[in-house]
Chain A
């Protein structure tokens, strides 16, 4: 059997990015949460916010470390496995990546050190500012990387000379048609995912009767946040869908498993798409609802895959099912917040055992939703890396052999399967220990230095 470097490189990219995206999904939200807690501590002077912040900061450190090491891998993938993509798109995309480094990575790295180790070395306001800068860094990072990703989905502001992209208008490149929707949808998803983790941990702590005062504050804060964000996310998702219909109709047709273009289209709830026969089997559908949801008009026309030649269609089954998984998770979240609002109104949010148990189980929901959504949008873009312009097959490094990629893929799989489970295990253990009650046992997270630099010249400091 001939090993195909293209398929293997795609699998390798999917592997490294799927693991990597879980970390920012968590640290973007947690960074903001820690900054909020530090701010509340700074303003109200209440010790409890400090304790909660210190608890999450330790977990943040582990997640961030894993995010950094898996993130460094990413830009090198463009060169090692996707060198023709790099050569073809660099004029347009590279500044966006570079600005991510300049505005986000340095900011996060410099202030993270102070956030983790400098609590006793800097004034309180400076520590708060450090938390704020780390949070800001994670958001800048999301901004640039999603601008680049969105440009690959809905390219704008470029022209093509000799098969390579050249910039024409940077505002159009950055604020390309799908970018605002993707940014809002993704960052909201990051916040929701983190909130669900916080809720899960809080529910666990309440159930185990550990640090329950802190846990109640966590649970209350985050359910309020979710009550706001989940409905917002449904609206954002809908707007993103309309945008996809307008700019990437072939992707939308694949997501919906629509083969024929039709108005008054049904909504397919379940089907087994068959690309060879260009039809679906075992279909469960609701009449008219497809047009209504996708175009906001029962008579609206929904595109069908047959409109495009076979070699310009995405594989149907993967985006079809991953999209339904994402939406399904959205429904579960809506249910969860509805119950939480009802219980809160009856003052039973903290002492309803079955609800706490369900809340505790909800930690992975957001991450599964993010991976499903990411799969939908990336597989749905196929067979292109730059939608409609640059094929994935024309993006891969020409010199690669299948064996090369087998080796590298095996390396990434082995190392990630060691590092990520261990990281998860260690975070779980920190959570089981609960929130440290006295500030002393939180330990001075200090790199260490003399009280004053002068004393290095003479006597030992006391």
Chain B
């Protein structure tokens, strides 16, 4: 008799995806805000603040993708063909912004081209991820073990809206990061941008929270049927509390508050999505258990993961610690 590792893998994968959203979220957001920076010195600083860590952050994307393939291969095989073009656009945009880190400083005669590549690459990659999120919540046409719709089904008003919402969400994280890592004018600008993003994010959270149940009876049932409506009432209440905290942190002199508040908003929104969909991994079609890989596969990977993840956290944490503190103006990416 094998132990059922599906709950544990669900937790691990959910955590991996969240880490990705958080870590690459802030550095994509920094990339988006980079486009608003007025001059070269400010841009150097902004880029330096994420140069040593972006690569590690993006590794979570690979691990999230591979983790999905390993733990829930059926979901992987259905979701990816369904979001064929957003994935393509995301990958190409990430390629542009990824090489821009090195190319911008080594190719000075085209620095402005790579500046744009970095900013728009971050923006477009974020938009594409938002579309993937929206399309996923809406669900896919499935036949047997395959996606059977068109590659263009994923472009809906809802998914375009979540795409735009995510741009503001990541920018808010990015602003939080910049408040943490910079000083003076740059920090003030980050606060100002952060406040605008915050307002947009709150509006977006409200709209998505209404639009999703209106579109999907199952989700409406989940949230508004008795007694769920009581059990789940802390979610909106906590959201309001975090929003209050974040707004205050953006307006006072707190250096860590805005980043923590932004993380909180992402975490609570993420919980909301999980509550809406659980236990389905392909909405309306497959549960986590139906899409899971063989128990032998899950066990084999789990053994190594339990050992390796703490090690990864240790050395990744060390790497962040080495680059702790404010980014300085006098040293750069040479």
Q: Which residues on A are within 8 Å of B, measured CB to CB?
A: 61-62, 65-66, 68-73, 75-76, 78-80, 83-84, 86-87, 90-92, 94-95, 97-103, 105-114, 116-118, 121-122, 133, 166-167, 170, 397-401, 404, 407-408, 411-412, 415, 419, 422-423, 426, 429-430, 443-450, 453, 456
Contacts and interface: CB of A to CB of B under 8 A. Distances in A.
Nearest to B153: A399
Given A109-B56, A114-B319, A429-B106, A69 B326 contact: no
Nearest to B53: A113
Q: Which 8 A-B pairs have the closest CB atoms?
A: A79-B80, A90-B73, A113-B52, A449-B325, A443-B334, A94-B70, A109-B56, A448-B328
B301 A411 contact: no
17 contacts: A61-B102, A83-B78, A87-B73, A87-B77, A90-B76, A94-B73, A101-B63, A105-B59, A110-B56, A404-B151, A419-B96, A430-B106, A446-B331, A447-B49, A447-B327, A448-B327, A450-B326
Contacts of A398: 81, 146-148
B56 A400 contact: no
Contact of B76 (A79, A117, A400, A453): A79
Given A98-B69, A456-B325, 17 more contacts: A69-B95, A73-B91, A79-B80, A91-B297, A106-B56, A107-B312, A108-B55, A113-B323, A398-B81, A398-B146, A408-B85, A412-B88, A423-B99, A423-B103, A449-B323, A449-B324, A456-B326
Interface in B39-62: 48-49, 51-53, 55-56, 58-59, 61-62
B305 interface: yes
A94 B293 contact: yes
B contacts with A: majority SS: helix
B73 A415 contact: no
Nearest to B294: A91
Contacts of B319: 110-111, 113-114
A109 B55 contact: yes
Contacts of A76: 65, 80, 87, 91
B149 interface: yes
B106 A113 contact: no
Nearest to B144: A398
Given A83-B80, A101-B62, A109-B59, A399 B148 contact: yes
Contacts of A445: 333-334
A103 to B, nearest CB: 7
Interface in B279-334: 293-294, 296-297, 300-301, 304-305, 308-309, 312, 315-316, 318-319, 322-328, 330-334
Interface of B: 48-49, 51-53, 55-56, 58-59, 61-63, 65-67, 69-70, 73-74, 76-82, 84-85, 87-89, 91-92, 94-96, 98-99, 101-103, 106-107, 145-151, 293-294, 296-297, 300-301, 304-305, 308-309, 312, 315-316, 318-319, 322-328, 330-334
Contact of A411 (B74, B77, B80, B88): B88
A102 B99 contact: no
A117 B151 contact: no
B330 to A, nearest CB: 8
Given A122-B322, A167-B297, A102 B56 contact: no
Contacts of A429: 106
B93 to A, nearest CB: 9
Contact of B328 (A66, A72, A110, A449): A449
B146 A72 contact: no
Contacts of A62: 102-103, 106
Nearest to A396: B81
A423 B324 CA distance: 30
B151 A415 contact: no
Contacts of B297: 90-92, 94-95, 167
A166 B293 CA distance: 9
Nearest to B296: A167
Contact of B88 (A66, A80, A84): A80
A167 B312 contact: no
B326 A449 contact: yes
B92 A412 contact: yes
Nearest to A103: B308
A106 B16 CA distance: 13
B304 A99 contact: yes
A116 B301 contact: no
Contacts of A121: 322-323
Contacts of A80: 80-81, 84, 87-88
A78 B66 CA distance: 10
B296 A84 contact: no
A445 B229 CA distance: 55
Contacts of A415: 92, 95-96
B46 to A, nearest CB: 12
Given A79-B80, A170-B300, A73 B52 contact: no
Contacts of A91: 73, 293-294, 296-297
B6 to A, nearest CB: 14
A452 to B, nearest CB: 9
Nearest to B315: A110
A90 B70 CA distance: 6
A101 B63 CA distance: 6
Contacts of A448: 48, 323, 325-328, 330-332
A106 B59 contact: yes
A94 B304 CA distance: 13
Given A167-B300, A419-B96, A114 B80 contact: no
Contact of B296 (A83, A108, A166, A443): A166
B149 A95 contact: no
Nearest to B314: A110
Given A98-B70, A110-B315, A79 B77 contact: yes
A167 B102 contact: no
Nearest to A168: B296
Nearest to A451: B325
A453 B49 CA distance: 16
Contact of B98 (A69, A107, A116): A69
A326 B96 CA distance: 33
Contacts of B66: 75, 94, 97-98, 100-101
A222 B106 CA distance: 27
A113 B324 contact: no
Contacts of A133: 315
B56 A113 contact: yes
A166 B297 CA distance: 8
A398 B150 CA distance: 11
A271 to B, nearest CB: 41
Nearest to B74: A87
A453 B324 contact: yes
Nearest to B305: A102
